[in-house]
Amino acid sequence: MRIVLLESLGVARGYLDGLVAPLLSQGHSFEAYCRSDDVKENVKRLAGADVAIIANMPLGGQVISSCDRLKMISVAFTGYDHVDMESCLSKRITVSNCAGYSTDSVVELALGLSLAVVRKIVPCDGAVRAGKTKDGLIGNQLAGKTVGIVGTGAIGVKVAAVFKALGCNVVAYSRSQRDEVLSMGIPYLSLKDLMSSCDLISLHLPCNGETAGLIDRDMISSMKRSSFLINTARGPIVDNKALADALKSGSIAGAGIDVFDMEPPLLEGYPLLDAPNCVLTPHVAFATPEALQSRAVIAIDNVRLWMDGKPQNVVR
């Protein structure tokens, strides 16, 4: 079979070669490309391909429907909303993802962003470099605060455990309740009750038809003036214009945002760029060397096991 990697997986070529060597020894071919956002170029690259591997580059219906032989897409990412799933369904293409590869990395950045905004770490750094003092830069401690976890999948559960270890009172919202969460003494609330009662809210939801725009202007306006919003999940879950307005008006205290409704670089004038007490990172939560190596292993294993008739991590 012809296997085509359409973008870098962020690992050394020698490491990748080691992963695909067993496939090559079985007579399959493997080609790797640098990312292109040109539809025609991607159609050309996938011509005659049986398997496509991508990370977070969009793979739309125009490309998928043009690939007559394509049977499997291995998404080296947790989310797969950037793949046209309707086209995959109509062409009976198997889609697998790499859920779990970056759980620890995302949890750590969620905590890092929380500490950064609550303790005003970025402006404190600026003050020291400018020869200033801590005046006006005293933050709060997290211990004793109420933290809301929105989405209790693997990442949300681990973030909840971390905040509990810091002495926080943790509550949760999710479409379904998990015994694991309840056994930690974490109650589930309605989303509106969570948003209005928590000191810090951390989002850990996939982006789909039910969650896109979930944290809208109304939800943001229900937050306490002293509260913080952390998003290391998916950008379109939050109305970032409404979030920026809330930060600028002082309706909420701060935010830590790693994901947006576009991939960085952000356009000039993007609403959050001049919002106060808002720490922004360029969609980096998943990206540690350890996590990237893990996802490369899973992505290639997804292909190998699918070829063996034992598909794993199938999302369609």
Question: Residue 127 corresponds to which amino acid?
Answer: A
The span from the CA of 8 to the CA of 303, in Å, is 16
**In the block, residue with structure tokens 């455990």:** 161
Q: Which of 263, 268, 295, 304 is catalytic?
A: 263
Residue 199 · residue 166 · CB < 8 Å? no
For residue 269, give both structure tokens.
Answer: 């004038």
Active site residue 204: no
Q: Given phi > 0 = left and psi -120 to 50 = alpha, else beta, which region is 144?
A: left
Residue 238 · residue 215 · CB < 8 Å? yes
Q: Which of 45, 204, 283, 304 is catalytic?
A: 283
Active site residue 263: yes
The span from the CA of 142 to the CA of 228, in Å, is 11
Phi, psi of 284 (to 5 degrees): -120, 0
Closest CA to 3 of 41, 24, 31, 33: 31
Q: Which of 7, 45, 204, 234 is catalytic?
A: 234
Residue 59 · residue 52 · CB < 8 Å? yes
Active site residue 234: yes
- State the first-to-last Cα distance of the chain, in angstroms, to the nearest integer: 21
Contacts of residue 189, Cβ cutoff 8 Å, sequence gap at least 6? 148, 171, 172, 173, 197
Q: How many CA atoms lie within 13 A of 69 on its CB side?
A: 14
Positions marked catalytic? 234, 263, 283
